[in-house]
Each structure stands twice: as C-alpha cells, then as structure tokens.
Amino acid sequence: MKPYLVVAEWDNEARVWVATSDDIPGLVAEAEDKERLVRCLQERVPELLALNAHLLPPASVPRDMTIHWVEDQNVRLSA
C-alpha cells in the first residue's frame, strides 16, 4: 500500500515549515524546523486518521508517511 503523502513547504515570511496533505483530511501543521514538524506529524496524523476514518477508504494495514520537503530556491538563468 502506498504511503500517505505530506507536502511540507517553507514559509519564508513566517519562518516556519507548513505541512498539508491531500491524503490526510484536515492536516495542517507548522513548526520552526524539520525535526519539530516530523514530531508534530507523528502525533497529529494518527489522531486525524482516527477522527476522519469515515472520509477514508478502509485500511487493512498501517501505512507509512512520506514527507516531500519544498524550499524556495533561487536559480540564476543565463541570458
């Protein structure tokens, strides 16, 4: 079974990582660094999955979570 996909984007203005997921209804989390965000997700995701089980297809086995980290990157282009 494929893992739940979480997208964590760096918000440069707020200086936090913001995590959302199309696979996990209701997920929005933020933290100052990656390690704190991972700990937050490890707590919050199982809670949301239990609370929103009626919105999800039946799961026969526990699934993993994959985090896709997105950071702004400036790339210089040659003219």
Tens of pLDDT, residues 39-72:
999 999 999 999 988 888 776 556 888 999 998 7
> Per-residue pLDDT averaged across 6-10, rounded?
94
Query: Taken in order 51, 52, 57, 63, is the CA torsion positive or negative?
Result: negative
| Spacing of C-alpha 23 from chain mean position | 9
Q: In the prediction, which pLDDT does 79 show?
A: 64
What is the rounded CA–CA span in Å between residue 65 and residue 60? 16
Q: Is the backbone of residue 26 left (phi > 0), alpha (psi -120 to 50) or beta? A: left
52 and 25 Cβ atoms separated by less than 8 Å:
yes
Q: CATH classification of 4-70, choosing from 3.40.50.150, 3.40.1080.10, 3.90.470.10, 3.30.2390.10?
A: 3.30.2390.10
Residue 78: band (very low, low, confident or very high) from pLDDT cuts 50, 70, 90:
confident
The model's pTM is 0.80
Domain boundaries, the chain: 4-70
Residue 19: is its pLDDT beyond 60?
yes
**Which residues are registered as beta bridge partners of 68?**
7
What is the rounded CA–CA span in Å between residue 28 and residue 14? 15
Residue 1: is its pLDDT beyond 80?
no
